[in-house]
Amino acid sequence: MVGKRMDQGFISCKDHTHDVMAVSTQLVLSAITVTVAFLLVAFVYQKRKINASALVGTLGLGVLILLLLGLTYGYIGLLTLLTFFFFGNLVTRYKYEKKFKLGVAEAHRGMRDIQNVLGNGLSPLIFALLFAVSSEHLELLFLLGFSGAVATATADTFSTEIGQADGTPRLITTLKHVPVGTNGGVSLPGFVAAALGAGLIAVVSLLFLGSRAVTYIGAVFFIICLLAGFSGCLIDSFLGATVEDRNPLRLNKHHVNILSTLSGGLIAMLLGSSLSMHL
């Protein structure tokens, strides 16, 4: 009995040490991610790629995501948003002069404001909030929702910026040729770019799974996130062709972004639920 108790005590001590090491690692990763995020956002602001309202909004969004997803997942959520933020700003520069001549380039040389932040960040924030108040067995589904929303935002940004520069668009509802920049216009280069953007976020989001990212569940998670991001991008195009800047709703592009990213997240959750994905 004494030997058994000693063994149990030794195992308990090992578990405690492992937990302490895990928490320490998460704190270090969180600190590194926050530092990199802050420096990148400050750099982008200094380069006039975002204005003051977008700076405050981006930092506030990052803090909320970090708190809502907690110590275990917060830094991964922040890294996912950071990936969208970095590559979204980078792809805006793709053939900017050509897009400027066509009249479809982002205004002020691509400078983003608070509306851009809310348009792309509100839905991920909603899924992070739902994660924070959910029961444990539903956490993975809300992480999928979060990932699908960010994947949609990234897919849409890639599709728009690359598709407008290289594509010959057709209206998604009729498949008729339309001028570049027409709401709801889609093209083959845009589709490829959307898949790349969604796939990029799908890869980063695998970090939510830890060691299971290289297992079957990781492959399923990746595919769901990719499909959700691409589908959400298609929904964005459909809404652009049917309701954006049209009566009676008069939704602007930021409203459409919110609806499409929310749709992408919900699609991810529905696919995950149908496959009974749980932590």
What's the whole-number mean pLDDT along residues 155-170? Answer: 91
- Average model confidence (pLDDT) for the chain? 87
DSSP for 138-192, written as a single string: GHHHHHHHHHHHHHHHHHHHHHHHHHHHH---EETTT--B--TT-TTEE-HHHHH
101: exposed, middle or buried (C-beta count within 10 Å: 0-12, 13-18, 19+)? exposed
The answer to whether residue 19 scores a pLDDT higher than 70 is: no
Q: How confident is the model at residue 77 (pLDDT cuts 50, 70, 90)?
A: very high
- The reported pTM is 0.88
The answer to whether residue 4 scores a pLDDT higher than 50 is: no
φ, ψ dihedrals at 185, nearest 5°: -75, 135
Cα-based distances in Å from 152 to 16, 96, 198, 228, 264? 40, 22, 6, 7, 6
Q: Specify whether the CB–CB gap between 272 and 225 falls below 8 A.
A: no
The answer to whether residue 201 scores a pLDDT higher than 70 is: yes
Please give the Cα distance from 233 to 80 (Å, whole number): 18
What's the whole-number mean pLDDT along residues 256-272? Answer: 97
Q: How confident is the model at residue 102 (pLDDT cuts 50, 70, 90)?
A: confident
The answer to whether residue 181 scores a pLDDT higher than 70 is: yes
Q: What is the pLDDT of residues 53-70, one digit of tens each?
A: 989 999 999 999 999 999
Share of the chain above pLDDT 90, in %: 59
What's the whole-number mean pLDDT along residues 166-194? Answer: 92
The answer to whether residue 12 scores a pLDDT higher than 80 is: no
Q: How confident is the model at residue 10 (pLDDT cuts 50, 70, 90)?
A: very low
Cα-based distances in Å from 79 to 8, 29, 71, 162, 224? 39, 10, 13, 23, 19
What is the DSSP secondary structure assignment for residue 215, as one 8-state letter? Answer: S
